[in-house]
Amino acid sequence: MPKRTDLKKILIIGSGPIVIGQACEFDYSGTQACKVLKQEGYKVILVNSNPATIMTDPEVADRTYIEPITAEMVEKIIAKERPDALLPTLGGQTALNTTVELDKKGVLKKYKVETIGANIKAIKKGEDRKLFKAAMKKIGLDLPKSDQADNLNEAISIAKKIGFPLIIRPSFTMGGAGGSIAYNLDEFKLLAKRGLESSMISEILVEESVIGWKEFELEVMRDLKDNVVIICSIENFDPMGIHTGDSITVAPIQTLTDKEYQLMRDAALACIREIGVETGGSNIQFAINPETGRMVVIEMNPRVSRSSALASKATGFPIAKIAAKLAVGYTLDEIPNDITKSTPACFEPAIDYCVVKVPRFTFEKFALADNTLGISMKSVGEAMAIGRTFKEALQKGLRSLEIKKFGLESIVFNNLEDMRIEKEILDKIYQKLKQPNAERIFYIGDAFRAKLDIEAIHDLTKIDRWFLHNIKEIIDCERELIENKNNITHELLRRAKEYGFSDRQLAKILSLDETVVYDLRKSMNITVDFKLVDTCAAEFKAHTPYFYSTYEK
Amino acid sequence: MQAYLVLEDGTIFKGRSFGASGEALGEVVFNTSMAGYQEIITDPSYSGQIVAMTYPLIGNYGINHEDAESRKPFLEGFVVKEYSKLASNWRKDQDLGDYLKENNILAIEGIDTRALTLHIREKGAMKAILSTLDSSEQSLVTKAKKSRGLMGLDLVKEVTIPKKYVYWQSKENKYKVVVLDCGVKLNILRELKRLKCNVTVVPAWTTYQEILKENPDGVLLSNGPGDPAAVGYVIKTVANLIGRLPIFGICLGHQMLGLAFGGKTYKLKFGHHGANHPVKDLRTGKISITSQNHGFCVSIDSLNKKNIELTHLNLNDETSEGLRHKKLPVFSVQFHPEASPGPHDAQYLFAEFLKLMQKSKKIKYAKTH
């Protein structure tokens, strides 16, 4: 299908100020969309209140309004500009909410503005918990079990039916009092009573807890001809219970067989079709019970998201750019793959490396803030790293955070050669593993240094044993380096580099100067190799020079 | 233990063994699937080949008893960047390394599989040797050069089942399919079972008379290894079946149909081995992301266009991916609608086969009554 010629002017809503939970990823996606639509010959009208964005550079859109992103203001802009269409799916949650409000006020109808990408019905179906639940039930997808109660007896009978632990969510609370978790009936009675009291309509939602389950995400794209492809699969290092934005995440999925992955893929395809996102990207989250394999759908974002930016850079597939093209009528097979140029964008990227995203926290700037992690997001940013092994990508990611850690270094032990594993230290490690927090990844390293085993750490953190095994290999390698400090072999140094140890980190471990490590490495001919990100695992020639470093020569 | 992967052109990769010890010869190919190594290892179509996985981290979820695609591994050797010594998954029964040792398959880790892939992409698939015994580079290159390769080689006879067997039978089933086993993947049989067909599997050398004696409603020509031009005896059987009953060919089955129709096949430079190839159904315009595993291809220009229609096209390199006879109930695809590993997008083709059998049965019924 060629692009639509009935549209001339398209309005794009930006994401507004950067806040925790919504950073520059929507500037990235919005800018891509503006550029693409302009190239395609459309007139692009942009509204965004944030001056520190690329999209508000005067040459990006045809007309830019630096105004508050409210339905009132956007209405005025629509009245003045009279756009034919509104593309709401590239400016994050703010854009989506504003669009829904414009529709509610009748503005879109009044000025005959068509929403492209996702229509209002799809946005509501994806965002409204009740509608989403009904939609998923209709296509036979499993969700966490839940039911509503307006009195304690009813709540108790629901609790008995579902089983513990349970999450209690009061409906319509004053001041947004959140949910609580009950692990047994006594706790439940107390918390349910409190929940009913705090709800303005005396109603609570009792929901099966999936805390500790494995968490996954799929980035999905669909075109007007109903072609659907998965751009990227993501596995969370941190299990359910920690906001995805605060979790270390890994692409692609590491611990599912193809049978299990394909069931998830089928579910994602069914989900985007049922919700009715006509074109563009969506993000769908799943949880899997690690003991039984039961898979449930957690949520769906009918728009590009934080994960889309990650998925784009992790695979080389420009999600926002393609989403904008799909919104104006192109189909996936009509758009060339930017990187190979010879193959179409209608495919699923194959990657031949491992990508790790690590969240960046700034608790040091807020002395009184609680640095434990839960279901609301606290990180302020993130770093992504690519390596040929998970170990390499993780260590690169940690040193990219700029928190004076040059890899998976110790947080409690000052001297690795003379570690005193005292009771207070062990207690602290236990506590830091059990209660998710911003520094937990470093405490996991220290737990291995203190000779805890994979099972013990898994029991405390519920982090998958495969990830823990990889961290243990990093720590074992560090131990080997310390023990052979005066006799570093080629094999050992090369392995350390393959595991992502930086020269600076090695210098500290070996009590050497960084330049000495560098020279030693050079003398052993262990040098950096730059490999290409090419969307196709080297199957086709790549034309875009996008690289990552690794040690493999 | 140290191990070597040596290519016939003298390229040498050193790594560590994580499978059986010994020596293995084969054509080295790369597969770009990010998951599904168990299905790949047990796919009989890989007989004669050493498979390198482009995804670097392999073994992560182990091996389970449910996901095998045949009775044992058929590939000659397995090449990865990093083998995971710990496997984590609720269905895991065994570690990959132990499984390979048990089945006497050589495997090597610590290989720059991207460099290997780039090499194959540039120079084409080539003969190679995996060894844990010999460390003389010269002797290894000589052995690789002398190995049999794939051209003109009948590998089907090495992987087909020795005796006919009934895979699935139920009184409620309306249709019977005979599967001509040239190295069939179990998921093809599972798909037929799912569609409520009785399934009988017969060896590749079964004659067309013997197949017709089974009184099937349709015949499925399976996938399989090696050069399609080397299995003349099966192509003869296929040629004799055409026009007598509905036929569905998959992969090697598709190539054999192409040859039976008088067409030609040729060898691709490095083949298609992966789970992300876009294929367009030219009748509907619909695109499926498909699972692929083939080194040979049907030349569509070599076929008589009056009778044969091209139905599927690979959007990456525009090679032929499917054909059908314009009048007879015969069709085939080059890719794998049974997936395993890979997306389920092309599953609809099994339903098309069922429809063909329904239609043929109706016509047959009308003729005899």
Write out pLDDT tens, residues B134-174: 999 999 999 999 998 888 889 999 999 999 999 999 999 99
For chain A, the first-to-last Cα distance in angstroms comes to 46
Helix, coil or strand: residue A429: helix
Q: Are A284 and A233 within 8 A, CB to CB? A: no
Helix axes A454-461, A465-483, angle to 10 degrees: 130
Smallest CA–CA separation between B296 and chain A, in Å?
Answer: 17
For residue A91, the model assigns a pLDDT of: 87
For residue A133, the model assigns a pLDDT of: 92
Helix (H) or strand (E) holding A149, with range, is strand A146-149
A128-142, B58-72, B179-193: least confident range: A128-142
Among A222, A259, A292, A533, pick the best mutation site for testing chain B contact (most B Cβ within 10 A): A259
* Residue type, position A237, single letter: F
**Would the CB atoms of A466 and B286 count as touching at under 8 Å?**
no
Q: Are A469 and A455 within 8 A, CB to CB? A: no
For residue A264, the model assigns a pLDDT of: 98
* Residues of B whose CB is below 8 A from A257: 35-36, 38, 61, 64, 67, 89, 91
Q: Are B197 and B177 within 8 A, CB to CB? A: yes
Which is the catalytic residue, given B254, B272, B277, B336?
A: B336
Quickly state the pLDDT bin for A174 (edges 50, 70, 90).
Answer: low
DSSP A545: -
A41-50, A538-547, B162-171, B282-291: least confident range: A538-547
**Would the CB atoms of A262 and B81 count as touching at under 8 Å?**
no
Residue A413: burial class (beta carbons within 10 Å; 0-12, 13-18, 19+)? middle
Distance CA A285, CA A296 (A): 9
* Residue given tokens 């793959």 in the structure block: A337
- For the CA atoms of chain A, what is the radius of gyration? 25
Quickly state the pLDDT bin for A176 (edges 50, 70, 90).
Answer: very low
Q: To 5 degrees, how large is the angle CA A471–CA B55–CA A285?
A: 70
Q: Give me B361's structure tokens.
A: 């049965």
Give the mean model confidence (pLDDT) for residues B34-48: 98
Taking alpha carbons only, the member of B208, B215, B238, B193 closest to residue B350 is B193
Q: How many CB pairs under 8 A join A and B?
A: 156
Helix/strand/coil (H, E, C) string of chain B? CEEEEEECCCCEEEEEECCCCCEEEEEEEEECCCCCHHHHHCCHHHECEEEEECCCEECCCCECCCCCCCCCCCECEEECCEECCCCCCCCCCECHHHHHHHCCCEEEECCCHHHHHHHHHHHCCEEEEEECCCCCHHHHHHHHHHCCCCCCCCCHHHHCCCCCEEEECCCCCCEEEEEEECCCCHHHHHHHHHCCEEEEEEECCCCHHHHHHCCCCEEEECCCCCCHHHCHHHHHHHHHHCCCCCEEEECHHHHHHHHHCCCEEEEEEEEEEEEEEEEEECCCCCEEEEEEEEEEEEEHHHCCCCCEEEEEEECCCCCEEEEEECCCCEEEECCECCCCCCCCHHHHHHHHHHHHHHHHHHHHHHHHC
Distance CA B334, CA B319 (A): 10
Taking alpha carbons only, the member of A379, A428, A308, A419 closest to residue A26 is A308
pLDDT, tens digit, 9 for 90 and up, residues B60-118 = 999 999 999 999 999 999 999 999 999 999 999 999 999 999 999 999 999 999 999 99
Long-range contacts of A421-428 (CB under 8 A, 24+ apart): A421/A450, A421/A451, A425/A450, A426/A450
* Residues of A whose CB is below 8 A from B84: 466, 469
**Sign (positive or negative) of CA dihedral A201, A202, A208, A211:** positive
Smallest CA–CA separation between B42 and chain A, in Å?
Answer: 14
Q: To 5 degrees, how large is the angle CA B74–CA A266–CA A254?
A: 60
DSSP A365: G
Distance CA A156, CA A205 (A): 12
Is B119 an active-site residue?
no
CB A531: neighbour CB atoms within 10 A? 20
Integer CA distances (angstroms), A211 to A241, A242, B253, in order: 5, 8, 48
For residue A127, the model assigns a pLDDT of: 82
CB-nearest to A333 from B30, B64, B315 is B315
* Residues of A whose CB is below 8 A from B114: 352, 388, 531, 537-538, 552
Which is the catalytic residue, given B182, B251, B254, B272?
A: B251
Q: What is the mean pLDDT of chain B?
A: 96
Smallest CA–CA separation between A189 and chain B, in Å?
Answer: 34
**Would the CB atoms of A388 and B56 count as touching at under 8 Å?**
yes
Distance CA A546, CA A538 (A): 13
Q: What is the pTM of this model?
A: 0.95
CB-nearest to A466 from B38, B81, B88 is B88
The proportion of chain B whose per-residue pLDDT surpasses 70, expressed as a percent, equals 100
Is B338 an active-site residue?
yes
Model confidence at A382: pLDDT above 80: yes
For residue A178, the model assigns a pLDDT of: 65
Helix, coil or strand: residue A119: coil
**Sign (positive or negative) of CA dihedral A21, A27, A28, A34:** positive
Distance CA B266, CA B275 (A): 22
* Residues of B whose CB is below 8 A from A266: 344
Is B251 an active-site residue?
yes
**Would the CB atoms of A466 and B115 count as touching at under 8 Å?**
no
Helix (H) or strand (E) holding A39, with range, is helix A25-39
User: How many whole angstroms from its chain centre is CA A180?
Assistant: 24
Cβ partners under 8 Å of residue A452, min gap 6: A429
Asked if ipTM goes beyond 0.90, one says yes
DSSP-derived pairing of the beta strands B175-181 and B218-221: parallel
Smallest CA–CA separation between B265 and chain A, in Å?
Answer: 22
* Residues of B whose CB is below 8 A from A262: 339, 341-344
**Would the CB atoms of A469 and B84 count as touching at under 8 Å?**
yes
**Would the CB atoms of A348 and B289 count as touching at under 8 Å?**
yes
* Residues of B whose CB is below 8 A from A261: 35
Distance CA A473, CA B338 (A): 38
Q: Give me B188's structure tokens.
A: 């093809």
Give the mean model confidence (pLDDT) for residues A473-479: 98
CB-nearest to A346 from B88, B113, B315 is B315
B226: left (phi over 0), alpha (psi -120 to 50) or beta: left
Smallest CA–CA separation between B231 and chain A, in Å?
Answer: 29
Model confidence at A153: pLDDT above 80: yes
pLDDT, tens digit, 9 for 90 and up, residues A204-218 = 989 999 999 999 999
Cβ partners under 8 Å of residue A457, min gap 6: A433, A444, A447, A448, A463, A468
Helix (H) or strand (E) holding A28, with range, is helix A25-39
Distance CA A538, CA A522 (A): 28
Quickly state the pLDDT bin for A20 (edges 50, 70, 90).
Answer: confident
Helix axes A423-434, A440-449, angle to 10 degrees: 140
- For the CA atoms of chain B, what is the radius of gyration? 21
**Would the CB atoms of A333 and B56 count as touching at under 8 Å?**
no
Distance CA A62, CA B66 (A): 58
* Residues of A whose CB is below 8 A from B38: 257-258
Cβ partners under 8 Å of residue B133, min gap 6: B21, B22, B23
Domains and CATH numbers, chain B: 2-146 (3.50.30.20), 156-368 (3.40.50.880)
Taking alpha carbons only, the member of B351, B350, B357, B349 closest to residue B217 is B357
Q: Which residues pair with B36 in a beta bridge?
A: none
Quickly state the pLDDT bin for A402 (edges 50, 70, 90).
Answer: very high
pLDDT, tens digit, 9 for 90 and up, residues B321-352 = 999 999 999 999 999 999 999 999 999 999 99
CB-nearest to B289 from A229, A539, A553 is A229
